[in-house]
A and B are shown apart, each in its own frame.
Chain A
Amino acid sequence: MLTKPVSPEDLVAVHAVTKIFPSSRGMSDVHALGPLDLTMRAGEFFAVVGPSGCGKSTLLEIIAGLTRPTNGEVFFNGAAVGDFVPEGIGVIFQEDASFPWLSVRENIAFGLKRKQVDADTTRRRVDDALKLTGLQAFADAYPAQLSGGMRQRVCIARTLVLQPRLILLDEPFGALDQQTRLLMGDEVLRLWRETGATILLITHALDEAAMLSDRVGVMSARPGRFLEIVTTHWPRDRDSKIVTRQEFGDITGHLWALLRDQSIKSIAVSA
């Protein structure tokens, strides 16, 4: 397997990645992303913010191995990411990806069963994930009986049982109201601490990025490039109460100062 020397602390390395979507029916090519570089340390919580259409989700899909970059390379755990999602990466999408024909327990066990993990280990890991996500009382319920936030927790639990080293979250709380998003943020922080996983969060919510992350990558309008990577300096043991602190306001304000012109540019282009 192709490997490239990266720092042992770096779990993810993105080198000069660009994405150009080919033209269709007389339209010109769409240069969506890059060139862009990024490294993520093991155990880090990294968020990406940027204007609509700047290529945030494309970046996530490239890191996950769901989309091939036009140029550049991505390394996960020292190995190049190819056409398949590597072992050790979990992805949680904005859309509800819970399977309506399976109960909560069956949903969570889905990946373990496909990997033919033995029944005892499966039961233990599913029970742990149910406990971790607060879904024990709903283990036998079906997604249709749950709220949007609870279904998202089912998807998180389904990802966690596979014990990924890197969790990619693509605007997972986009469909939830503000209070629920804050509480879900607390849960994600708790899961991050307890599992020791590395997290990449794609979001358009500046406050969410400022509250949850160790570092926030601010992207420009299309083609998306990092304008600045902002370090938050939050302690690892944090929760949503930090939104009341002066530094939180400062960070969010700084993110908006970086993004304002880009957002105007993005709106002008789409108009």
Chain B
Amino acid sequence: MRLRKATRIRLVLIAGMVLALEAACRTGLIRPFTMIPPSEMFVSLLRLFQSPEVLSDIGQTLRAVALSLSGALVVGFLIGALLYAFPRARRIADPLLGTYYSVPVFVFYPLLIVLFGLNSIPKTVIGFLYAFVAMIINTLNGLDRVPPVFWKTAKVQQLGRLATAVHLVLPCAGPYLFTGAKLAVMYSFIGVIGSEFILSSGGLGYRISFSYNNFQSDVMYGLILFVLLVVICINMGLYAWERSLMERRGGR
């Protein structure tokens, strides 16, 4: 497979930065107490995969992300579709949606612990709260961009409401729904891992925080590397999928 020029340059830049960081750590420019070399982070990550506790933390985090993400996708899409169907409700909701991300959702974490207890529910709810509005906004964007002529074409083709939604509206709004889903993935990770840092008793965020407090730099950096790799891989996969879809559609 031939890589594009931009991809090659990007890879060279990343590799260069990693090598520079490695050199800086190895030569003592960056103290071992501050950061360990990337190669040691990688070795540490491999070692961490043999630890049942870490594997359990990874499982907890991924489960919470999967739950919050699924909820955000379904609920966000449904609310978006309802707001589109009821313009008056949308006029009321629009300012709230527009300013939603100025509210630091984490401030509700103590309240959620009071409501649900010190378990995985509060962090799942935070992940959901972070992600579902991105899905609402992008669902509305997508539905707004279905050209009026497509609605008329659906009537001419004698499609019912469900058939219009499945065969016409969803594929047409697809790229925007995809963007919503992409953002929801990221927000879910931020919400869940961020919550684990604060008060949770398990999960990747908790484990990173615990290692930091106990001066276990190798564990901390190994896990940070793991989070980075997972998020980058998911994002790159979604980006490549989106690009192949959009190329076929000529950007429409």
Contacts and interface: CB of A to CB of B under 8 A. Distances in A.
Interface in B139-164: 147-150, 152-153, 155-159, 163
Interface stretch (B65-73, B165-173, B205-213, B233-241): B165-173
Interface string B226-250: 0000000000000000000100111
Contact of B158 (A87, A100, A101): A87
B98 interface: no
Given A99-B171, A143-B250, A144-B248, A114 B152 contact: no
A93 B249 contact: no
B172 A99 contact: yes
A101 B171 contact: yes
A97 B252 contact: no
B1 to A, nearest CB: 23
A121 B20 CA distance: 65
Contacts of B167: 110, 114
Contacts of B171: 99, 101-102
A108 interface: no
B95 interface: no
Given A93-B153, A99-B171, A114 B159 contact: yes
Which of B155, B156, B159 has its CB near the most chain A CB atoms (within 10 A)?
B156
B249 A64 contact: no
A93 B155 CA distance: 13
B194 interface: no
Which of A64, A93, A102 has its CB near the most chain B CB atoms (within 10 A)?
A93
Interface string A83-97: 011010111010111
A250 B245 CA distance: 52
Contact of A144 (B148, B156, B158, B252): B252
Nearest to B152: A66
B172 A144 contact: no
B70 to A, nearest CB: 24
B249 A100 contact: yes
A145 interface: yes
A66 B155 CA distance: 7
Interface of A: 61, 64-66, 84-85, 87, 89-91, 93, 95-97, 99-102, 110-111, 114-115, 142-145
17 contacts: A64-B156, A66-B155, A87-B158, A91-B156, A93-B149, A99-B150, A100-B249, A100-B252, A101-B172, A101-B174, A114-B167, A115-B158, A142-B248, A142-B249, A143-B252, A144-B248, A144-B249
Given A97-B150, A99-B172, A101-B248, 16 more contacts: A64-B156, A84-B155, A85-B155, A85-B158, A91-B156, A93-B153, A95-B148, A96-B149, A97-B153, A99-B150, A101-B172, A114-B159, A114-B163, A115-B158, A142-B250, A143-B252
Task: List 4 A-B pairs, minimum CB-CB distance, nearest first.
Answer: A144-B250, A100-B252, A95-B149, A100-B249
